[in-house]
Amino acid sequence: MEIKTTTKNLDNYKIYLQVEEAVHEFMEKNKYLKIDLPVLSPALIPESYLQVFETDFKFLDKKEKLYLIPSPELFLKRLLAYGVGDCYYLGKSFRNADPPATLHSYEFVMLEFYKMDADYMGIADVVLKLLQSISRKLQVTSYKLQNKIIYKGKKISFEKWEKITVQKAFKKYAGISEKELFNHKLFIEKAKEKGYSINTSTYEDLWSQIYSQEIEPHLGTNGFPTLIYDYPKEFAALAKLNPDGRTTQRFEFYIDGIELGDCYTELTDWKEQEKRFNNEKKVIHPIDKGYIEALKYGLNDCSGIAIGLERLAMIFANLTSIDQLKLINIS
């Protein structure tokens, strides 16, 4: 890896700064408390698909393992349980094994915010207002469009969402029926029929391959950002299940096939959360027991979303890769 310095991205970087500023202004105006957090933690929430960076804290003969946070969730949820109310974090998160790519970096800026007494669709309303607010701020200097931006020559309006369930999207774009989507055996057969290599692949693996290959490219391409919601329970992570028992209150939103944010109605049931944590394998770090303790203490109904700020700024700056926003890139 090497350090690459460039000032040719200076104009793009300034757009990034404006987006960041617009987010802070929006959050302050809507009474979300800004939370600064440690990025090193002695324990983490177990999420087996995330790989983490680890380091040693050394002092005289003492040595302790610390981990860079892959998301601020473990800290923010504790604070929510202790009654901090609507709040947000805008800062660095770290994911090992994410090589620098057009939409990825092992070190990235995440906006994560939580709203009390809201479900995931309540967050969707806030996100739309946030997008409008950012576009208004940028219009002052660049676009003369009301609540719209131009991305790669196409108009995207933030007047409303295009909403689609995961189930409808699989039917519409991949020809996979409701029955096939929720039945692992049928789904794997369908994937094989489509030409995917099913050896050593789980339902979750194949689901991700088909989702990314056949569904995502269509999302956010009809003039509005797309909100795709109600994922199969296998992708519940820290989200609440729907009453149907097979889908979860989770949405993601997209512009031009690019995923920008991931929202859950938060799971507040500590027993269910502990069960899910115990099912996570392949986790190398100590598990944050305090998280379950905080849930036991009592987390009121709330929802939260994580948004990749560089990806969002990339869209507003009409760029195709996040490294185009940066003055220093390491790759």
Partner 1 sequence: MRISAGNLKKSEFVNFQGGICQVMKADFYSPGKGSALMKARLKNLITAKNVEYAFKSNEQVETLDVVSVDMQYIYKDQENLYFMDERTFNQVSFPISVVGEVSRFFKEGEKMFVYMFDDKPLTIRPPMSVRLKITGADDAAKGDTVSGAKKPVTVETGATVMAPIFVKVGETISINPETGEYTGRV
- For the bound state, the minimum distance from the C-beta of residue 209 to partner 1, rounded and expressed in Å, comes to 5
**95 vs 137, beta carbon nearer partner 1:** 95
Contact (Cβ atoms closer than 8 angstroms) between residue 78 and residue 292: no
Stretch that binds partner 1, among 54-62, 109-117, 162-170, 193-201 (CB under 8 A): 193-201
Q: Given the complex with partner 1, which of 207 and 229 has the nearer CB atom?
A: 207
- Return the number of the residue (84 or 237) whose C-beta is nearest partner 1: 237
Write the CA distances from 315 to 111, 135, 170, 275, 300, integer angstroms: 15, 11, 25, 38, 34
Name which position in 132, 142, 165, 201 contacts partner 1 (CB under 8 A): 201
Residue 163 is a binding residue for partner 1 (CB under 8 A):
no
Footprint of partner 1 on 68-127 (CB under 8 A)? 95, 97-99, 101-104
Place of tokens 């949820």: 77
Q: Does 262 bind partner 1 (CB under 8 A)?
A: yes
Q: Which residues pair with 93 in a beta bridge?
A: 108
- The closest alpha carbon to 71, from 102, 47, 97, 105, belongs to 47
> What DSSP string runs through 37-85?
--SEES-B---TT-B--EEEEEETTEEEEEEE-S-THHHHHHHHHTT--
Q: Which of 237, 308, 302 is nearest to 273 (CA)?
A: 237
In terms of CB distance, is 10 or 97 closer to partner 1?
Answer: 97
Binding test (CB under 8 A) with partner 1, winner from 64, 125, 204, 244? 204
| Nearer Cβ to partner 1 (15/236) | 236
Q: Which is nearer to partner 1, 24 or 192 (CB)?
A: 192
Q: Tell me which residues in 15-54 interact with partner 1 (CB under 8 A).
A: 49-50
The residue (of 234 and 301) whose beta carbon lies closer to partner 1 is 234
The count of other CB atoms within 10 Å of the CB of residue 169 is 21
* Distance separating alpha carbons of residues 57 and 67, to the nearest angstrom: 10
Shortest reach from residue 143's CB to partner 1, in Å: 26
| C-alpha to C-alpha distances, 291 to 78, 82, 146, 211, nearest whole angstrom | 6, 11, 43, 31
Is 209 one of the binding residues for partner 1 (CB under 8 A)? yes
| Smaller CB separation from partner 1, 58 or 195 | 195
* Whole-Å CA distances, 235 to 4, 60, 63, 288: 37, 44, 36, 21
Q: Site for partner 1 (CB under 8 A): how many residues? A: 27
- Stretch touching partner 1 by CB under 8 A, among 36-44, 60-68, 120-128, 205-213: 205-213
Interacting residues with partner 1 between 288 and 327 (CB under 8 A): none
Report which of 298, 238, 271, 247 is spatially closest to residue 83, judged by C-alpha positions.
298
Site string for partner 1, 212-251 (x = CB under 8 A): xx-----------------x---x-x--------------
Phi, psi of 111 (to 5 degrees): -100, 120
* Contact residues: partner 1, CB under 8 A: 49-50, 95, 97-99, 101-104, 195, 197, 201-202, 204-205, 207-209, 211-213, 231, 235, 237, 259, 262
